Every structure is written in C-alpha cells, then in structure tokens.
C-alpha cells in the first residue's frame, strides 16, 4: 500500500449533498451514485493535494474508533472503487487542478 496517494474529485461530475447523502452523477455516462457516510467524507476531502493518509487520519480516525492502518487500507479500496466508476481520481502525486473546485455546499436537510 502506498501511503502517499492522493485523491481528487473527477472534473466532469455533478454532486450535491441531499438529505445527508452525497449524490454524484458521472460525467462519463450520467450514472448516478449515492455515497455512504465515510465515502462522502473522502469525497469532500478529496482536494487533490492532501495525501490520502492524512485525510484518513484527520477525518476518519478522529471520528471513528478505527486503527489508522485498517482505515487507510479500507479508504484506498473505497477510493479505487470510486475511481473505477470515474468519479474520483487516485494518483501517486498531487493533482493540483482539483483544488479549483470548492467544497460542495450542503443542502439544507429539511424544508
């Protein structure tokens, strides 16, 4: 496992937090994905310049009772899965262009 991996949101996707669930539409084929809580955390933190290990440490280990090595392994599997669907980029070097995107503004939870 490479601890210095980077994740970035794919540039051609659409995304919005709706009712606490991150909805993402692939730019490649318009498929719609719904991310669970931890996947949403990774997605929102995927700025292309923060190492995955650091994201996991800051956002996963801090909030969930899980050891860093296990969390990183799970996170990388998840990132690979999202990358296969074309909604996340997984790289061995920073992807600075990804920082152009702001954090997705959350939608209000109820009317």
Stretch of residues binding another protein (CB under 8 A), selected from 6-14, 69-77, 78-86, 87-95:
6-14
Residue closer to another protein, measured from CB, 18 or 93: 18
Q: In degrees, to the nearest 5, what angle opens at C-alpha 32 toward C-alphas 4 and 29?
A: 85
Minimum gap (Å) between residue 91 Cβ and another protein:
19
- Give residue for tokens 């939870």: 109
97 binds another protein (CB under 8 A): no
User: Does residue 15 belong to the site contacting another protein (CB under 8 A)?
Assistant: yes
Look at residues 106, 110, 111 and name the one whose alpha carbon lies nearest to residue 16. 106
Q: Pick from 19, 62, 65, 92: which binds another protein (CB under 8 A)?
A: 19
Interface segment toward another protein; rule CB under 8 A; list 25-33, 52-60, 78-86, 87-95: 25-33
Q: With CB under 8 A as the contact rule, which of the stretches 29-37, 49-57, 78-86, 88-96 interacts with another protein?
A: 29-37
Contact flag: residue 104 with another protein (CB under 8 A): yes
**Is residue 90 within 8 Å of residue 7, measured between CB atoms?**
yes
Q: Which residues contact 31 (CB under 8 A, 6 or more apart)?
A: 25, 85
Say what angle helices 37-45 and 68-84 make with each other, to 10 degrees. Answer: 80
């Amino acid at each position: 496992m490479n601890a210095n991996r980077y994740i970035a949101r794919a540039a051609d996707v659409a995304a919005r937090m709706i009712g606490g669930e991150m909805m993402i539409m692939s730019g490649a084929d318009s498929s719609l994905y719904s991310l669970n809580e931890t996947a949403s955390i990774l997605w929102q933190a995927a700025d292309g310049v923060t190492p995955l290990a650091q994201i996991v440490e800051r956002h996963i280990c801090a909030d969930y009772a899980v050891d860093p090595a296990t969390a990183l392994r799970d996170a990388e599997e998840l990132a690979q899965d999202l990358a296969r669907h074309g909604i996340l980029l997984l790289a061995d070097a920073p992807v600075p262009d990804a920082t152009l995107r702001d954090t997705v503004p959350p939608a209000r939870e109820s009317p």
